[in-house]
Amino acid sequence: MKTKMTKKEIMQEILSYVKTIAISLLAAYIVCSKIVTQAQVPSGSMEDTIMTGSRVIMYRAAYWLEDPARGDIVAFRLPDDESQLLLKRIIGLPGETVEGIDGKVYINGEELEEPYIDTVYYGSFGPYVIPEDCYFMMGDNRGISWDSRFWNNKFVSKSAIQGKVKIELYPELKILE
């Protein structure tokens, strides 16, 4: 036998749904704005690692407990124009000297192993001494990448790094390490 709900019971039921929806929306907002987010890659500067038009997942909390590391692919605010969000690879760390000679990158005089580079690039740059709490960024597709080599402000501060790019979702699902 069905019993008829009172107005008070109906209001409590509606309030329960409203609370559940509000908590879910708040949790989604916190996760998307503070922990992870997605972005679309606008250029070919990271090809063949990440292709133009790819959708990637960025882990915003990656550097809460640890410092960025050489080789990490990160999203960051461009030092010359903070309205632009870019994706590049960390090449140089705070306190290091980075230099490019005939397409090879040297860190403190030692050639950097870069297995993620597919095409040969013959340009030279530097040497640059990287300030404390700053990083030197380069794209994997060196021939077309607009990166630290060419900016007026050569270095990205740790505070400008928005997160570490960990996963490519589309067009191919892959873990980026």
Active site residues: 45, 88
Angle at 93 between CA 119 and CA 169, to 5 degrees: 55
User: Which residues lie below 8 Å from residue 38, measured CB to CB, with a gap of 6+?
Assistant: 55, 56, 57, 58, 169
